[in-house]
Amino acid sequence: MKKPIIGLTPQYDYEKNRVWVGPNYLEAIYAAGGIPIMLPLHTDKESLKIAANVCDGFLFTGGPDISPFLYQEETIAQCGVVVPERDKMEEDLFSIIIDTDKPVLGICRGVQILNVFLGGTLYQDIPAQFVSSVQLGHSQASGNSVLSHSVILEEDSLLHKINPKDYIQVNSFHHQAIKDVAPSLKVAGKSMDSLIEAVYHPGKKFFLGVQWHPEHLFKINRDSMNLFKEFINACD
């Protein structure tokens, strides 16, 4: 059986002089039947295009906050560290792959930046900007693989096709979230406080972003494993 090659976007720490990908992303892609590779951070766009051509699908990984300038906002006090090199690399990659039908999965920062590149906006800080009668904990205190809130699945969404049920339970490690959904995307799931937790592109074969971290859950949680399996299956 052919194993699809999945290109992952890298983390970058300027102060520690490190470029890396968290091992859980690599393990999840491998467990689902794919071969994960880290895409280059410091290349020109033509070189990135050559690297992207090798890949059958793309995973936009979690990471730092996204520059609010990318969605035409000023930076509020509660916005976290932004990494312009990472924003630029992902912007270049997105422009290379958006007109292909190669599958795309976004996780945490990944769902946020896919939404921004398609014209959507973000809450720069949920506690400071998201008004809700119920205060759910989106930055959970418990460990990575602990489930902490539910996500109500939209019927007929890609997420509902992957896991045909009313809701799933997920972990939550984000202080930013989607505010306005990009025109070409649709909501796939929301938490009980009505925060958008997943979006998909109905015009693409597989284009899905989730706000939680299935890469920390796939070993113990069938819903999370299904997500990676369907992503890899779409990369044929």
Question: For binding to Mn ion (CB under 5 A), which residues are involved?
Answer: 138, 172
Catalytic residue among 55, 138, 197, 215: 215
Q: Which is nearer to Mn ion, 171 or 226 (CB)?
A: 171
Shortest Å distance, C-beta 174 to Mn ion: 6
Which is the catalytic residue, given 55, 79, 108, 235?
108
Active site residue 79: no
Q: What angle do CA 1, 225, 222 make, to 5 degrees?
A: 130
Min dist CB 30 to Mn ion, Å, is 26
Element (H, E) at 158: helix 158-162
What value, to the nearest 5°, has the Cα angle with vertex 4 and ends 103 and 13?
Answer: 75
β-pairing verdict for 57-60 and 5-8 = parallel
| Cross-strand bridge partners of residue 170 | 149
Active site residue 201: no
Quote the least distance from Cβ 229 to Mn ion, whole Å.
23
Q: Kindly tell me which of 172 and 221 has the beta carbon lying closer to Mn ion.
A: 172
SS3 37: strand
Nearest CB to Mn ion, comparing residues 32 and 198: 198
Q: Are strands 57-60 and 104-107 parallel, antiparallel or unpaired?
A: parallel
Nearer to Mn ion by Cβ, of 163 and 172: the residue is 172
Residue 197 bears catalytic tag:
no
Active-site choice (79, 213, 216, 235): 213
222 — phi, psi (to 5°)? -60, -40
**Look-up of token digits 């113990």:** 220
The CB-of-138 to Mn ion minimum distance in angstroms stands at: 4
Residues annotated as part of the active site = 108, 213, 215
